[in-house]
Amino acid sequence: MLRTKYYYNPATCSYERVQRSISTFIIRSSLYIFFSVVLAVAMVRYYRGRFVSSRELELLQDNERLKAYYHMVQKKIEGSVALLTRLQQQDDELYRLLLNTTPLSPAERNAGMGGVNTYAHLGKDTLIAQTLSKAEQLYSKLKVQQQSYKQLRELAKHKMAKLASTPTFPPVSKKHLKRISAPFGMRTHPIHHIRKMHEGVDFSAPIHTPIYAAADGHVKWVKNDKKGYGNHLLIEHGNGFQTHYAHMHTIIVQKSNHIIRGQQIGTVGNSGDSTAPHLHYEVYSNRHRVDPIQYFVGELTAAEYEAVRKQSTHRTQALCSNF
C-alpha cells in the first residue's frame, strides 16, 4: 500500500498532500514489473546452472548407456570384419586356388564402398554416424563375399561334373591292373607280326573277372561280334570322354542304361580276335584315343600308380588284334 506523502507550502504556511499523476503511477509500476521479471529469469538461470533436475539426470544416464551400447556394437562390427577378412583369405588363397581361378582384386573386394556419406546429416564423426558407417562397410563386404561364394559354387559344380565324367576308376581290380600285357602305343601285331599302333591297354585276367565302369555315364551301344572286339560296349561319359571295353565274356548292362562310376558292367573274356583272356580297354578324349593309364593317377596311391605306369612301359606282346 502506497504511503501518502506531504510537502510544506510557504504560501499557505501549511503541509499539503502530494498529488500523484496516473502516468507516473503507470511508469513506476511498469519499472517494478520489469525488474521483477529480470530478477526471476536470472534466478532461474542460476538455479539451472548449479543444479540438475531428476529428469535431466535420467536423460544424462540414458545417454551414457547409449554411448556404451554404440561402442559395444562397434566392437561387434570390428570382430565381424576380422572374421570376414579370414574368410576372404581362405577364398583367395585356398578355394580359388583349388578351383584354378584368380583371386578377387582389391577393387572388386571394395566394390560399393566409399562415395557419398549417407549419414552426413547425423553430424561429422558422431558416434552414431561412425557406427552406421562401419555397419554399411561390413554389409558391402559381405555382399561381395556372397557373390564370390556363388561364383565358386558354380565353378565347383562344373568341376565335379567334369571329375564325374573323367575315367579315373580302373576297369579291373588293382591286382589285375598291374598285369598289363600290352600298353597303349606302338606294338607288334600278334597275328600279322608287324609294328602297329595299339590304341588301348590290355589287362590280362582270368575269364569272369569283373569289369567296372571308369566314370559316370550311359551305355551308348553294346555289340556282340564274332571277330574283332568280340563282346564289347561303349560308355558315353560327357565332357568329351568315352570308354570302350572289349573281348568281354558277359555284358550285364544294356544300351542306354545309366552307369555310375565303379559299377560292374560285365566280365573279362576271350571273345573276338583275342589270343588269351584279357580286357582291351580304350579311352576317348574328344574323339581321340588316349593312354588310359594317365587317368588312374587320382584313384591309386603314388606307389600303385608308379607300379602300373612302369608296367605300361614294358614291351610286351598284345593279346588282341584290334590295332
Q: Minimal distance in Å, beta carbon 228 to Zn ion?
A: 11
From residue 142 to residue 161, the character string flagging contacts with Zn ion as x (rule: CB under 5 A) and all else as - is --------------------
- Residue number, 268 or 320, with CB nearest to Zn ion: 320
**CB under 8 Å to 146, separation ≥6 — which residues?**
none
- Tell me how far, at minimum, the Cβ of 277 lies from Zn ion, in Å: 12
Nearby residues of 180 by Cβ (< 8 Å), 6 or more positions away: 201, 202, 203, 204, 308, 311, 312, 314, 316
Cβ 173 to Zn ion shortest distance, Å: 19
Say if residue 241 is exposed, middle or buried (CB neighbours under 10 Å; 0-12, 13-18, 19+): buried
By rule CB under 5 A, what string of x and - marks binding of each residue 197-236 to Zn ion? ---x-x----------------------------------
User: For Zn ion, which is the closer residue by CB, 215 or 320?
Assistant: 320
Helices (H), the chain: 22-50, 54-90, 96-98, 106-109, 127-165, 174-177, 302-311
**Residue owning grid cell 553294346:** 222
Q: Footprint of Zn ion on residues 85-144 (CB under 5 A)?
A: none
Return the number of the residue (133 or 275) whose C-beta is nearest Zn ion.
275
Spatial contact of 318 and 202, defined as CB atoms under 8 Å apart: yes
Q: Classify each residue of 197-233 as buried b or exposed e, where b means 16 or more C-beta atoms within 10 Å of its C-beta.
A: ebbbbbbbbeeebebbbbbbbebeebeeeeebbbbbb
State the number of binding residues for Zn ion (CB under 5 A).
Answer: 4
- 200 or 277, CB closer to Zn ion? 200
The residues in 231-290 that bind Zn ion, with binding defined as CB under 5 A, are 280
Q: In this complex, which beta carbon is closest to Zn ion, that of residue 105 or of residue 317?
A: 317
Q: Smallest distance, Å, CB 178 to Zn ion?
A: 17
DSSP code of residue 94: I
Q: Which stretch binds Zn ion (CB under 5 A): 38-46, 50-58, 63-71, 315-323?
A: 315-323
Judged by the rule CB under 5 A, the positions of this chain that interact with Zn ion are 200, 202, 280, 320
